[in-house]
Structure 1
Amino acid sequence: MTPAPFSTRSLDSLSSSLPGTPTMNREHAFRNKVSISFPRSRWCGNLKRTGAQVSMSMAVRLTLLILAAGQAVASAEPALGIRKSPLRQLLSVYSESPLLEGARISIYVLDLETATEVFAKNPDSLVNPASVTKIFTTAAALCLLHPDYRFKVEVLADKEPVDGILRGRLYLKGYGDPWLVEQRLLQLAMKLKVAGLKQFSGTVVVDDSFFDDRRWGPGWEQEIEGHEAYLAPVGALSADFNTVRVLVFPGKRIGARARISLVPNGGDVRMAGTVTTSGRYTRIRLEMEPGPRRDRIKIAGRIHYRSAGWEGRVRVSRPALHAGYAFAEALRQLGVRCRCHVRRGQAPQRAKHLATTWSPPLSEMIRKVNKYSQNFMAEVFFKTLGAEILGPPGSWEKGRQVMSQFIKDNLGMPPGTYVLHNGSGLNDVNRVSARQVVELLRYMWGRFDARADFLASLALAGADGTVDGRFERPGIIRNLRVKTGGLHNVRALAGYASNRAGHTLAFAFLASDFNCSGKTITGIIDSFASALVESDASLRVDESALVVPESAVEFAGP
């Protein structure tokens, strides 16, 4: 999902829109005498066609022949007519493509069964890993906090309710819970109602002192303007990922005003503008304007009269207040009479405990982070590491110190050999090498207590997460568990490949500063990873099983 020109935002959440690698008609290629060459122009994603598309597996063979100067690189099995090529040489074809000329590349592949190097190209060069950074964050969280770690949110008060009536201050205290969604707010409110609460009047004091007051991490300032949900601020007390959902439904007839709802419907956000029911396609624009007391969402556009509904998300600017208003609204929805206002503060030590809600275990939540590249949750984990290991308040600096010690103790990488300033990988502040990424993957493969949860958190090729819609060939689907990364002029892929011999290969392909389209680079990386899966016990690959991305070759007429 990538508009041009690029904005420096994570493209992982959009990767489901990237098409899978196409297959071509081989016979048609022969009939049209297709020649293949690598274009030298800057816009190397552009193609020249002769009316027919060429077989991708044929493209692999012809490219190899060109690079080998006419020497055969594949072994033949006459009885079966199968041509196999050494995996290392095929990987060199991808990694040395003229399309990557001038790019910063770091690649490393390790066979975890034999502990032998399979392939390397600039393995120690430091490259921006984009969202591949998240596997460092989630690995440290699993190992240091424990897979069963749960976040909590507490409700406290200065005194117990009397005859179902509570007056004074009600405290909502957060400990970094990134999964306080609407359903859990309702469950927390239900605990109070079941305990006998019928009416509350006074002040909801929101306590987010478990973290410091810095809301956006290092590197986020490079694109802090805007309303995008992937840039939601980080706080110790957060509701619904510190975003507001905007729901739009068509009116009863064309020309009528559409119905608009906010979820959660709190007192810290106001809506301005209208949407019209139309006979044309749906087109809606959102914009968030932070205010001194309330945020204002500006909406405009149209919705098709037959639409089942439209949903968008915008970030909020004051996380704790947003959570407090959402909690008060949850009480009202359950029939508790609630007349209150919300402000920030700290719960006193003597406050009486009324209720607690616990998040799902960390082992479940990291799946959202790695499969769908959830920035907000990754940064919460990063700050929580600092708060739990070094003491509250959690901060990015404390998180960086804990991460540095974890990497030194377990991966043997001293500070200064890499750069990790935040937990999500947003923007241009992190640098690692492919060898360092693979070393982390190797370490987690050997951690019996955390291995299963870590593997389950990675996206399955062609099946879910940010690679749903990629790697769709039957032989590749579900044989790669990966983390993707994408920013402006950055593409990355790292994870585990299970090849035809049952060996697990840990790999990382990091690319930045390239001069062609991101789609072109993604195609090369995907073909590289697919070749790992297609390799056999002798690390050779059946050429007919390979696919070269369409954007990696130029078609010329006879």
Structure 2
Amino acid sequence: MKPLKIGIICLLSTAIAQADITQDANHLIDQIDPHLNIGVEIKDLTTHQYLYKRHAQNSFIPASNMKLFSTAAALLALGPDYHFTNKLTTDATNWDKHELKGHLYVHLSGDPSFSSARLAAMINSLKQQSIQSIQGDVVLVSRYQNISPYAPGGMTEDLPFGYGAPIAPLVLDHNRFMLTVNPNDTAGKPAILETSHQTQQHMLINKVITKKDAKNCHIHFTIDATQALVLNGCIGLTEHALVQELAVRTPLLYTQKVLKHLLQEAGIALKGHIILGQAPHQTLLLSQDKSPSIAQLIAKTLKHSDNLYADSLFLHTADKLSGRPLNWEKAQQVIKPFLHVQTGIDLNSAIFSDGSGLSRYDLLTPDQTVQLLTFLYQRFPIAYEYIAALPVSGRDGTLQKRLKKP
């Protein structure tokens, strides 16, 4: 009987401890607002015990918790060692006298990490192949060119900022740039703007005035009918510069300007134009670029809560599962059943309008989220990559300044 008694005592102790946690947690929440619409589920992954639940089956707008699901889908569908591939191809059969007698196709896979530097390396490889001019056009072929730049349910006020950058028709340099607003030397004069990408200067309308007194000075960012970014407000004469990450409003125009500059830098003359289009089925490969691995991209997505990365992974995973590019709604219809089959989680009540959580249409329950994390914790082949990608409280990513003390 002795072992049985000890077992009963342990069970009672656990039950009492759980009751204390529940009582304390409810008391803390009720102190704020007893009618607070909040959902919580806490589970010990080592004992499999649920420590606390409150409205755990209710659906809530998950915000960035949606990234847990989009990155999980990418990791499960593509594998940790998968890479996005970007290519340069041509329909020309030869290049007599160093001229490419045909079109150059730039195949962009939707890689969220693709940069001007990597594009420059691809363009420079043409020079190494003795190509000095292109007779035809440079055709940008993007997996996202027929997809809406924004998922349904996004907020208009997010659009000017870097975290709300468009994903279509293509992605280059994260479709973001840095803007610095400097006070003028003289009060009453416009602020001085500096951008990390000079190609974005023409898209800015500066209505920020330098004032001697900085009291009540703020800068507001809006978008006008021409897609230009309008800056209104004021900045103090002696104030520090304001640095803000903003969205590239016209990714196609930006990419066209970057490509034109890179061709000139490489000494390659273009006789045609830089356009968005399609490539023939049979083309000759000239250069190839690969992204960091999915495991690395997921770490970037989760540690820094990167919306563009999350949405790119969401759409690309649906693309690979279905065999063709899909819009946001069609992508949801592929990702949800896939995750259900892989994890066994009932996702009938869930809504995946995007992969980032920017959409206000997204819905998840705390229980669905805990079930996903439990599954990934126990799934040995990918557990390490997924857990390593999560931000660590008090150490890195979005949690660097949170929960620093035990």
TM-score normalized by structure 2? 0.82
Correspondences of 1:133-282 after superposition (within 5 Å): 133-159=66-92, 160-166=94-100, 169-200=103-134, 202-209=136-143, 212-220=146-154, 222-223=155-156, 226-235=159-168, 237-247=170-180, 260-266=193-199, 270-273=203-206
- State the distance in 2 between where 1:119 and 1:230 align: 33
The Cα shift of 1:340 comes to: 5.5
* Contact 1:265/1:326, CA 8 A, preserved across alignment: no
The Cα shift of 1:305 comes to: 7.4
The residue type paired with residue 191 of structure 1 is: S
Secondary structure, counterpart of 1:360 in structure 2: strand
Secondary structure, counterpart of 1:355 in structure 2: strand
The Cα shift of 1:388 comes to: 0.3
Correspondences of 1:490-529 after superposition (within 5 Å): none
* Contact 1:128/1:432, CA 8 A, preserved across alignment: yes
Structure 2 equivalent of residue 391 of structure 1: 323
Secondary structure, counterpart of 2:119 in structure 1: helix
The residue type paired with residue 277 of structure 2 is: G
Secondary structure, counterpart of 1:104 in structure 2: coil
Q: Say what the alpha-carbon RMSD is for the aligned residues.
A: 3.3
* Contact 1:152/1:175, CA 8 A, preserved across alignment: yes
Structure 2 equivalent of residue 343 of structure 1: 275
Higher strand share: 1
- State the distance in 2 between where 1:145 and 1:258 align: 47
Whether 2:339 is the aligned partner of 1:400: answer: no
- State the distance in 2 between where 1:471 and 1:217 align: 32
Residue in structure 2 matching 1:92, options 19, 23, 44:
23
Structure 1 residues 41-81: Cα deviation after superposition (integer angstroms, max 9, x where no partner): xxxxxxxxxxxxxxxxxxxxxxxxxxxxxxxxxx9xxxxxx
Sort the Cα spacing of 1:313 and 1:110 in 2 relative to 1 into closer, same or farther, 3 A.
closer
Whether 2:312 is the aligned partner of 1:364: answer: no
Sort the Cα spacing of 1:188 and 1:409 in 2 relative to 1 into closer, same or farther, 3 A.
same
Sort the Cα spacing of 1:430 and 1:226 in 2 relative to 1 into closer, same or farther, 3 A.
closer
The Cα shift of 1:271 comes to: 4.0
- State the distance in 2 between where 1:274 and 1:224 align: 18
* Contact 1:235/1:380, CA 8 A, preserved across alignment: no
- State the distance in 2 between where 1:271 and 1:112 align: 50
Sort the Cα spacing of 1:155 and 1:250 in 2 relative to 1 into closer, same or farther, 3 A.
farther
- State the distance in 1 between where 2:135 and 2:176 align: 27
Higher RCO structure, 1 or 2 (CA under 8 Å, sep 6+): 1
- State the distance in 1 between where 2:139 and 2:376 align: 41
The Cα shift of 1:248 comes to: 5.4
Whether 2:280 is the aligned partner of 1:332: answer: no
* Contact 1:206/1:321, CA 8 A, preserved across alignment: no
- State the distance in 2 between where 1:107 and 1:296 align: 42
Sort the Cα spacing of 1:425 and 1:143 in 2 relative to 1 into closer, same or farther, 3 A.
same
Whether 2:307 is the aligned partner of 1:375: answer: yes
Sort the Cα spacing of 1:402 and 1:365 in 2 relative to 1 into closer, same or farther, 3 A.
same
* Contact 1:386/1:396, CA 8 A, preserved across alignment: no
Q: Identity of counterpart residues, as a percentage?
A: 25
Sort the Cα spacing of 1:432 and 1:272 in 2 relative to 1 into closer, same or farther, 3 A.
closer
- State the distance in 2 between where 1:273 and 1:111 align: 53
The residue type paired with residue 426 of structure 1 is: L
The Cα shift of 1:387 comes to: 0.8
Structure 2 equivalent of residue 105 of structure 1: 38
TM-score normalized by structure 1? 0.61
* Contact 1:208/1:320, CA 8 A, preserved across alignment: no
- State the distance in 2 between where 1:290 and 1:328 align: 27
The Cα shift of 1:336 comes to: 4.0
- State the distance in 2 between where 1:385 and 1:402 align: 9
- State the distance in 2 between where 1:90 and 1:408 align: 31
Secondary structure, counterpart of 1:153 in structure 2: strand
The residue type paired with residue 207 of structure 1 is: V
- State the distance in 2 between where 1:161 and 1:243 align: 36
- State the distance in 1 between where 2:270 and 2:207 align: 30
**Structure 1: runs of 5+ lacking an equivalent:** 1-74, 76-84, 477-558
- State the distance in 1 between where 2:244 and 2:271 align: 30
* Contact 1:265/1:329, CA 8 A, preserved across alignment: no
Secondary structure, counterpart of 1:139 in structure 2: helix
**Structure 2: runs of 5+ lacking an equivalent:** 1-12
- State the distance in 2 between where 1:236 and 1:357 align: 19
Count of equivalent residues: 385
- State the distance in 2 between where 1:280 and 1:171 align: 54
